[in-house]
Structure 1
Amino acid sequence: MTTTATHLRTIALHWTDLRDALATTGLATWPPAGRMADYLSALDRADEQLVEAARWQAAYARQYLDRDPSQVGETRPPLRIAILDTMRVVEAALTHCADDIASQVQRPPMGMPSACLATYGSQREADIAKRDRDRKAELARTDLADPRRWRHTGRRDAVRASLWLLARIEHRPGPCRPINDAQAKRIGTVAAGAAERVERALDITAQKRTLAQRCPCGGEIDMHGGEGRPPVAHCAGCGRIWTTGGAIAA
């Protein structure tokens, strides 16, 4: 079973891949569109309107992508909107989770020593007190700047949040007390959902989906793909298989 730690590492490791994918094209979508959709639509000849609509949409999409950017009217967006939406949702979920967990388990920074108003019987006593105040002040500055501390200002991105939450799951040392079972479950739920979005956006995980459309034999059609592989559809009833190259007899 995939662990929360694995989900959080997946997010941290692939965040740069998402940034790179923002300005690129060619990433697969799931379920796959285009020719595969045409093959599956053709299974149901009675629904001619659906087939015609799919063809019209594909033709329009080709015209949209082939437009000269200098032309007046809609052109291809400079960023991949689906990737951008994924990054925004994942980052918001992780930082919000880190905010909540930190508010419950993170120790406040040490306070700076107060100004000395005492009088001393000798210079030696005064020097000892000053060294003690200096030591406490240095400890407070170090504690405040501890990189293991979750912050509500400054760097608040998905990588920082996932690594900080990972440290809590793995009970690493830091200015925090150990999380309890309820907090671990909350982190696990958020991490699993975020990692699934990242993997789906980058097409780096195997996927399976049962289509609403059925085979002519009446059986359910399961579509398999992901991990960069071409999609394949399989009828659970008669065993017929479809690929982007056409139908294969059972």
Structure 2
Amino acid sequence: MTTTATHLRTIALHWTDLHEAAGQPTQIGAFGLGLRGYLARLDQADAEQLEYERHQAAHLRSLERDPIQLGDRPVPVRLHILDTMRVVEAALVQCADDIAAAAQRAPIPMPAARKADYRTLREARIAHEDRQRRVQLALADQHDPKRWRYTGRRTAPHAALWLLARVERTPGPCRRITEGEEARIGKVAAGAADRVERALDIASQKRTLEQRCACGGSIDVHGGEGRLPVAHCTGCGAIWTTAGEAAA
């Protein structure tokens, strides 16, 4: 059974992969469309690739005519990856905000100023050293890296790791989260990890098509993890691939 901790680690570990994938040319990921839809998507992608290559060739010719244009050429942006990152980050940061508001204790306050009415130099020195210790303690608590902050580094991987620490009961400036809070984290983490895995095509998936086989059996399409989809009839056992008959 996949745990909340596994989901949170998946997000943190693959966030860099999402950044890299966002700038790569579009990959063909048509799982869930059925093989007929998949083949149609391939044809469309081929046409789009030819159009892109035509524009790229024209762009290169323009650079040859204008030698002052130097530097890296723009990389096609994959908008669905960026959308995934935006949604996942917003969900995780909001979840961390809510959990921190309920479970994280307030920072230790700075010591208040005291009137200098010491009777001896020794009393003054002791009071000064005590105040310095309390100042250092307050500063250390305010800047504790285990403390969730509402400004600054509010990224998806940072939120995932902070929530992971709460789920694993790691010591920090927080009380133990309740069962309800843990369930909330689990729900958000599962949804976010699913989006990340589908965006990167690193999760095995199975869908059942609405159309049934000629024998009356259900048709399951298996794919994901970078593999091309394969359809299988649960009734007669027939198998379809993109190289054979379309299953939908």
TM-score after normalising by structure 1? 0.84
Structure 1 position 39, deviation (Å): 8.1
Structure 1 position 180, deviation (Å): 0.4
- 1:101-140 equivalences under 5 Å are 101-140=99-138
Residue 25 of structure 2 contacts residue 75 of structure 2 at CA under 8 Å; is this kept in 1? no
Aligned to 1:43: none
Residue 111 of structure 1 contacts residue 140 of structure 1 at CA under 8 Å; is this kept in 2? yes
Aligned to 1:68: 55
CA pair 38-216 structure 1, distance change in 2 beyond 3 A: farther
Secondary structure at the aligned position of 1:213 is classed as: coil
CA pair 200-245 structure 1, distance change in 2 beyond 3 A: same
- Letter matched to residue 4 of structure 1: T
Aligned to 2:213: 215
Aligned to 1:232: 230
- Aligned length in residues: 231
TM-score after normalising by structure 2? 0.84
CA pair 11-189 structure 1, distance change in 2 beyond 3 A: same
Q: Which runs of no fewer than 5 residues in structure 1 stay unpaired?
A: 41-50
CA pair 123-67 structure 1, distance change in 2 beyond 3 A: same
Q: Give distance in 2, aligned partners of 1:215 and 1:171.
A: 51
Q: Of 203, 206, 211, which aligns to 1:205?
A: 203
Q: Give distance in 2, aligned partners of 1:39 and 1:193.
A: 25
Q: Give distance in 2, aligned partners of 1:55 and 1:15.
A: 28
Alpha-carbon deviations, 1:110-136, whole Å to 9, x = none?
A: 111111114111110111011111100
Secondary structure at the aligned position of 2:185 is classed as: helix
Alpha-carbon deviations, 1:138-182, whole Å to 9, x = none?
A: 111111110000011111000100000000000001111110000
Aligned to 2:243: 245
Q: Give distance in 1, aligned partners of 2:181 and 2:80.
A: 30
Q: Which runs of no fewer than 5 residues in structure 2 stay unpaired?
A: 60-73
Q: Of 85, 94, 98, which aligns to 2:96?
A: 98
CA RMSD of aligned residues (A): 2.5
Q: Percent of pairs identical after alignment?
A: 59
